[in-house]
Amino acid sequence: MDIVFNCTNKTCAQELAVDEAGAGTEIECPTCGETLTVPEPTPENTIEAEAPPAKVPGSTKAASGKISVLPKKEKSFSVPVHTGPGEVLIKKPKPTLEVAAKEIDKKIRLKTIRHSECQEVGKDKFDETVTDFLQRIGQENIVGVHSVSYSHFDVTTRQVLSDFGLMIMFRG
């Protein structure tokens, strides 16, 4: 039987297995050098010595001469083991999501205002039309304003004229 216990040095906590014959003797932790007293064997801290863990040569003063360092990974049994599905440790703050949802509710739309469509009996109402439109959608909803040039057939002059306009991208 081996007595299994942990190094009392908190920063080390190396798991050690010592033959039960070494109970009560002082040993040096092979990992950190801390002087440890091997505890008395109890049903809780003993394991069958079959398949002994790797021995660390010359690392003990104990009379039994047998001290083993268990692989570090075996310490995992002292740590709560989660067998269920992974837990979400960091939850995203909800307010941010709600704000984002509101923004998504508004679709990106496109409005094209052509200069030639803003003429009224010799009066150029292009600037006025654009100003009115921008006022209506509100400054915070304007995504972008791009100028466009285009050709159109003018019925009055019966000519193909090139003209300009604005493409306004906005949320609404």
- Cα(126)–Cα(116) distance, integer angstroms: 8
User: For Zn ion, which is the closer residue by CB, 43 or 58?
Assistant: 58
Q: Kindly list the distances between the CA atom of residue 110 and the CA atoms of 58, 168, 171, in Å, as whole numbers in the listed order.
A: 81, 6, 9
Torsion of CA 123, 127, 133, 135, to 10 degrees: -120
Least distance to Zn ion, CB of residue 100, Å: 51
Tokens of 69: 């360092």
- Cα(49)–Cα(1) distance, integer angstroms: 5
60: burial class by Cβ within 10 Å (0-12, 13-18, 19+)? buried
Under DSSP, is residue 21 helix (H, G, I), strand (E, B) or coil?
Answer: helix
User: For Zn ion, which is the closer residue by CB, 56 or 108?
Assistant: 56
Least distance to Zn ion, CB of residue 8, Å: 8
Least distance to Zn ion, CB of residue 44, Å: 21
Least distance to Zn ion, CB of residue 36, Å: 7
Least distance to Zn ion, CB of residue 74, Å: 15
User: For Zn ion, which is the closer residue by CB, 7 or 27?
Assistant: 7
User: For Zn ion, which is the closer residue by CB, 34 or 163?
Assistant: 34
Q: Which residues bind Zn ion (CB under 5 A)?
A: 7, 9, 12, 14, 29, 31-32, 34
User: For Zn ion, which is the closer residue by CB, 28 or 163?
Assistant: 28
